[in-house]
A and B are shown apart, each in its own frame.
Chain A
Amino acid sequence: EAQVTQNPRYLITVTGKKLTVTCSQNMNHEYMSWYRQDPGLGLRQIYYSMNVEVTDKGDVPEGYKVSRKEKRNFPLILESPSPNQTSLYFCASSLGIGYNEQFFGPGTRLTVL
């Protein structure tokens, strides 16, 4: 089954404790992206990657890092999480940019205390 998977689905952590949210897709997509969803704000892009070893900042990159060492994986790293990073996070992938629709993972609900 073609899908985007994320782990963990739920995470409660404390301020300053480094964490990684994994994202993997099995569709051989070149483009991957991370979004955060906050009430009343829709989804905002954090980082994106056009291909392996090619990543760039989205609209809200502060406090986040990403890497793209393999085509299928695009982990999101929070080196020192803060409470304002409490949010619902989605990973997405698509064949490319342009008119290709994006496929979304199930989401990771992160709470930073």
Chain B
Amino acid sequence: GAVVSQHPSRVICKSGTSVKIECRSLDFQATTMFWYRQFPKQSLMLMATSNEGSKATYEQGVEKDKFLINHASLTLSTLTVTSAHPEDSSFYICSARDPLGGNTIYFGEGSWLTVV
């Protein structure tokens, strides 16, 4: 299947700082990418949908000013957690839809964020 890569895989940041996570589709162009978060022993929760060149659509209850999403190119989306707090510590996962691959959605490896 298609490959989606995230970076960094693990990051530790201090409370109050911002951290950026990158999501890249390596072998296809993704007009749509998605960001999820997952707390331990829970399922994935969709945070937002981003379309290349336009503003992201956030799910209800997700603060758009805190979780900044940029989808500037067809192969790259970034999630910036601003003014991070310990409760933002979580597993963040991106995914991308392959429009030429039956519209199948492929997921990245995930990024562990720990805010201390």
A and B are partners in one complex rather than unrelated chains: no
List residues of chain A with CB under 8 Å of any chain B CB: none
